[in-house]
Structure 1
Amino acid sequence: MSHANLMNNYFSPNAVYTKEDFKRCFWMRRHVFERLLRDVHQVNPYFRQKRDGTGRPDFSPHQKVTVALRMMAYGSPTDSMDETYGMSEFTCLYTLEQFCDVIVQVYKDEYLREPNQEDLNRLIRKTEDRGFPGMIRSLDCMHWDWKNCPTRWQ
């Protein structure tokens, strides 16, 4: 039932939630989610749907990837995953571990590396265009005046 709800809410042609809702909820566009789903599904058999001991379908790849992303993006505790997706604490943690292993395996050379000079030049141009020259190596931006900064952060 939780798989059907997930599909109906976000992945069906007439999904309950819009593209903007999807991006706000998953912190990524749907095509990025689908790429992640495809990649983890191809690399790790854990993300392929199987049958449990009673012959019923196990958790779907969509559920497993959603749980892993929710735990990482929101710091969601495993007991909230049980309430929402019916997935036990052990299964949630195992799913997260498998997901992270696949992400590192698949994307380490492209995304999980130090930036090269071309990357740095592109980032410097982007930050300069947005009014933050010299932003590289100054990620905290504490030297910038922020007119609307909440008083507790000043």
Structure 2
Amino acid sequence: MASSFHYHYHKDDDEDFDNIFDDFLENPDLFPKPKERKKRIFIERNREEDHEKLWNDYFSETPTYSHNLFRRRFRMNKPLFLSIVHRLSTEVEYFRPTEDAVGRSSLSPLQKCTATIRQLAYDGGADTVDEYVRLGETTARKCLHHFTAGIIHLFGDQYLRRPTPEDLKDYSLLVNNVDFPG
């Protein structure tokens, strides 16, 4: 198949290139130097052990913390939380358990959802979940993004809707203790 573009070689092209190359060798500041890449700091977080700790603290047959503490810390009851984790881990790719190239388990769906719920429940930054759930700021932010997208996708039609005028009036009364005009 013929192309409509034809390049014809000219000896002058070599000369132009040689001139540009010579200019560069004489004055290398003509082109900006690339920024040095920062080395990423690797923190070994022992994600498998941390999953076990999380499980033992809240989800085992005899958890360290009671159901009341779970509800206070997660802002929902445990069965609801576990049903959300189950739906996300079976229907949203990001929350499915995987292994890396050396066979280590990825963060568990429980860890990812806990990090997200903690961010939402406490209105905290992504780096605040590292101390307990043991995942980095970037990963926590990614979990939050995938979690919200997954919740909207899985539960949006059933539970998420625009507020009605009555909802807005009730909310206004609740928050401001002021009647909504009209």
Q: 1:19 aligns with which of 50, 67, 77?
A: 67
Q: 1:79 aligns with which of 119, 127, 137?
A: 127
Cα distance in 1 for partners of 2:171, 2:108 equals: 41
Residues 105 and 83 (structure 1), Cα distance of their counterparts in 2 relative to 1, 3 Å cut? same
Amino acid at match of 2:71: K
2:77 aligned with 1:42: no
> What are the Cα deviations for residues 90-120 of structure 1, in whole angstroms up to 9, with x where unaligned?
1111111000000001111111113679xx6
Higher mean C-alpha displacement, 26-35 vs 43-52: 43-52
Which residue number corresponds to residue 173 of structure 2?
138
Identity between Structure 1 and Structure 2 (%): 31
- The Cα shift of 1:143 comes to 4.3
Residues 83 and 116 (structure 1), Cα distance of their counterparts in 2 relative to 1, 3 Å cut? closer
Cα distance in 2 for partners of 1:112, 1:38 equals: 19
Amino acid at match of 2:152: V
Amino acid at match of 1:138: L
Amino acid at match of 1:87: L
Amino acid at match of 1:142: N
> What are the Cα deviations for residues 26-64 of structure 1, in whole angstroms up to 9, with x where unaligned?
000001101111111122121111112332111111000
Amino acid at match of 2:175: D
* Aligned alpha-carbon RMSD (Å): 2.3
Cα distance in 2 for partners of 1:106, 1:82 equals: 27
Residues 2 and 107 (structure 1), Cα distance of their counterparts in 2 relative to 1, 3 Å cut? same
Higher alpha-carbon Rg: 2
- The Cα shift of 1:3 comes to 0.5
Residues 136 and 142 (structure 1), Cα distance of their counterparts in 2 relative to 1, 3 Å cut? closer
Residues 141 and 80 (structure 1), Cα distance of their counterparts in 2 relative to 1, 3 Å cut? closer
TM-score between the two structures when normalised by the length of structure 2: 0.64
Aligned 8 A contact 2:172 2:178 in 1:
no
Where in structure 1 are there 5+ consecutive unaligned residues? Answer: 124-133, 145-154
How many residues align? The count is 130
Cα distance in 1 for partners of 2:100, 2:134 equals: 14
Residues 100 and 135 (structure 1), Cα distance of their counterparts in 2 relative to 1, 3 Å cut? closer
Q: 2:108 aligns with which of 57, 60, 72?
A: 60
Amino acid at match of 2:86: R
Where in structure 2 are there 5+ consecutive unaligned residues? Answer: 1-48
TM-score between the two structures when normalised by the length of structure 1: 0.75
- The Cα shift of 1:84 comes to 2.1
